[in-house]
Amino acid sequence: MTSGSHLSIWFFVGILLAFYGLIIAGAGIYGWFVPPQVHLAQYHADLWWGLLLLAIGVFYCYHFAPRKARAR
């Protein structure tokens, strides 16, 4: 690794958020077809939170992705 290339910690946070979002959204999709026997299950909070985490994670991964330095 050269001295000019750094990886932002937010890039790794984005990867984790996207990964957790995929897992939670997958559980939400499963819960859509096999509804759990809990109160307020019709709102599918796990699906919505999973999609929100996935969107934030993808944004962080795109925004903080390691790129070559721009010429000024």
pLDDT bracket for residue 12 (50, 70, 90): very high
- Domain range for 22: 9-63
What is the separation, in whole angstroms, between the first and last Cα of the chain? 22
User: What are 53's two structure tokens?
Assistant: 């985490």
Residue 4 domain-assigned?
no
**In degrees to the nearest 10, what's the CA dihedral of 47, 49, 51, 53?**
-150
Q: Which residue has the higher pLDDT, 70 or 40?
A: 40
**pLDDT recorded at residue 6:** 82
Residue 1 domain-assigned?
no
Total domains in the chain come to: 1
pTM: 0.83
How far is Cα 15 from Cα 60, in angstroms, rounded to an integer? 8
DSSP, collapsed to helix, strand or coil, labels residue 51 as helix
How far is Cα 28 from Cα 36, in angstroms, rounded to an integer? 10
- pLDDT > 70: what percent of the chain? 86
* DSSP state letter for 68: P
Q: Each residue of 35-64: pLDDT tens digit?
A: 999 999 999 999 999 999 999 999 999 999
Residue 32 domain-assigned?
yes
Residue 69 domain-assigned?
no
